[in-house]
Amino acid sequence: MGGLEQVWNGRFLVLLLLMPTVLGWGPEGHYTTCKIAEGYLGKDAVAAVKDLLPASAEGDLASLCSWPDDVRKTPQYRWSADLHFADTPDFKCNYEYCRDCHDFYGNKDRCVTAAIQNYTRQLIKSESKYNLTEALIFLSHFVGDAHQPLHMGFVGDLGGNIIKLNWYDEQTNLHRVWDDKIIESALKKFYGSDLKVMIQAIQRKITNNWSDDITFWEQCSNNSIACPDRYASESISLACKYAYINATRGSTLGDDYFISGLPVVEKRLAQGGVRLAAILNRIFARKIRIAQA
């Protein structure tokens, strides 16, 4: 747990302040996904999560869900930087594990979907050689990332990172619009800049508007514990249908783009949260079954 404790001790604080917060839902998005997940955890998973988290988190998974973004640029965790996304060929608008899951150097199985499977396996096996606290936090973060449509964006524009444009009157890039800007604007315009209020609104939508979809969101074929390839396929499809539309270099995105993008962002945060809870419930229920056998 060395890395996490160091962060909490504030030793990396200066470093963190200097690091750009690119790639991955921003801190609000990750906090939201994990907060939503907390509401759907069964009692086995609640207990297991509390056991694995550092005491300073006081059982609150959401408080640590951005940690992998905070450390990705540090020497100790640089290896993890390629695990936050899986870009796809330009304009193909689909995702294929064998084709798309590799790092910058072409090393296979180094991408967000492989990382989700890897940390799921570690938590199930629960062997002492693994750092299970980090496995839990990486898994929780990466399930969120897999739901951000531009984490499966086009290779040619680095998932929208090199599409420089304006969000209203602010210069940014397309990737950041989907990581942070849509959420930040929604917070200001609709939720009195209070993240708690936004999370409650999404929770209400899950209960009122999407309750019939929850079982389908949670399911994985073949009794799999997690099915990240499905989350990735949905993401690139949404990127092509919404994120890349009218978002060319130098363009200015405003109300029209915000109004079409916000429902997508809110639903992806909801799906990420519900699915993370389903994955953790399956992992920890299975462990208890095995322990009792």
- Asked if 27 touches Zn ion (CB under 5 A), the answer is no
> Which of 155, 161, 131, 159 has the alpha carbon at shortest distance from 71?
131
Quick one: which of 82, 87, 100, 145 contacts Zn ion (CB under 5 A)?
Answer: 145
Q: Are 34 and 140 in contact (CB under 8 A)?
A: yes
> What whole-number distance in Å separates Cα of residue 215 and Cα of residue 275?
10
Stretch that binds Zn ion, among 80-88, 90-98, 181-189, 278-286 (CB under 5 A): 80-88
For 25, what's the count of Cα atoms within 13 Å in the CB-facing half-sphere?
Answer: 31
The closest residue (CB) to Zn ion is 24
> What whole-number distance in Å separates Cα of residue 127 and Cα of residue 224?
20
Stretch that binds Zn ion, among 59-67, 127-135, 142-150, 266-274 (CB under 5 A): 142-150
**Closest separation in Å from C-beta 257 to Zn ion:** 23
Given the complex with Zn ion, which of 7 and 48 has the nearer CB atom?
7
> Which of 115, 8, 23 has the alpha carbon at shortest distance from 63?
8
Given the complex with Zn ion, which of 119 and 284 has the nearer CB atom?
119
Please tell me the count of residues contacting Zn ion according to CB under 5 A.
4
Quick one: which of 24, 160, 261, 272 contacts Zn ion (CB under 5 A)?
Answer: 24
> What whole-number distance in Å separates Cα of residue 79 and Cα of residue 186?
34
Given the complex with Zn ion, which of 48 and 136 has the nearer CB atom?
136
- Asked if 84 touches Zn ion (CB under 5 A), the answer is yes
**Closest separation in Å from C-beta 136 to Zn ion:** 15
**Closest separation in Å from C-beta 151 to Zn ion:** 8
Given the complex with Zn ion, which of 29 and 261 has the nearer CB atom?
29
Given the complex with Zn ion, which of 24 and 153 has the nearer CB atom?
24
Torsion of CA 215, 220, 226, 229, to 10 degrees: -120
Written as one string, the DSSP assignment of 223-264 is G-S--HHHHHHHHHHHIIIIITTT--TT-EE-HHHHHHHHHH
> Which residues here bind Zn ion, judged by CB under 5 A?
24, 69, 84, 145
